[in-house]
Each structure stands twice: as structure tokens, then as C-alpha cells.
Amino acid sequence: MASKSIKLLKIKEWLDKMQIENYTINEDFTVDVDGNVFLGDLGLTKIPVQFGIIEYNFNVNDNNLTSLEGCPRIVKGTFFCSRNNLKSLEGCPERVEGFYMTMNRYKRFERSKILELCEVIDDEIHVESWITHGKK
């Protein structure tokens, strides 16, 4: 029981540090947010919590993420993950309104690959690339 309390406390501390408001920590430790989540330009190499449902936009632009692990399952607004070091789409949301992944610094992901993993409601997908290392 103590380890569950410690895990809950660590999640809450991180969310508060990131100034995320209006959140609910579910029984499975996923985090739902009734609002926007902005985690841009923080130097993140990973997202240390698992998000569930985000009621508006979710932004992790301008970090050093190598995967999308921790990203929400559902974003009821737009999902922004531009200018990262993504090597895979592991952890990609299952459903979003719009999907922006421009200028990824490691690998280019095709629109068709994103659509295999994610339902994009508004058919708004932006995937221009700016690769500085790695292979296309």
C-alpha cells in the first residue's frame, strides 16, 4: 500500500512542478486533464507519467523526446510534438483532432504511418521534416 501512495505522490509532485492543473490521477495511474497540457521547451528526454485523456491540446514541442511514451491515449484537441529527437512513434496517441510533428531532428515519419497508429479526426496532419542526423 505504501508503494502505491509513493507512486501517487511522485506523479502529483511532477504534475504540480509542470504547472498542470485540473487533473485526475486514475486507479491505473494514468492522468486525465480537463484543459491544455503545455510541456514545450523543457528539455524533456521522456515523459515520466502516463497521460490518459486530455480535453484540449497537448504540446511537447521543442524537447529531446526519442519516443512518445507517456503521451495521452486521446487528445480532444491538437497534439503537438515538433522539434524532438523521435526515433519511433511508440506511445503515439490513439485519437486526436489534429497532429503536428514538424522538424523532427532524427527521423521522418510518413503521414500514412501516423494514420496506422492514430485516428486523426480533422484529417489535419503536419509532418514536414528537418533531419540533422540519422536516416530518412
Does the residue 48 lie in any domain?
Answer: yes
In a domain, 132, yes or no: no
Where residue 91 falls (left for φ over 0; alpha for ψ -120 to 50; beta otherwise) is: left
Range of the domain at 115: 2-126
In a domain, 134, yes or no: no
74-133 pLDDT per residue, tens: 999 999 999 999 998 999 999 999 999 888 877 778 888 889 999 999 877 877 655 444
**Domain count of the chain?**
1
What count of other Cβ atoms lies within 10 Å of the Cβ of residue 8? Answer: 12
Helix (H, G, I), strand (E, B) or coil at 116: helix
Note whether residue 131 is domain-resident: no
Residues 62 and 49: their CA atoms lie apart, in Å, by 18
Full-model pTM = 0.89
Would 135 be classed as within a structural domain?
no
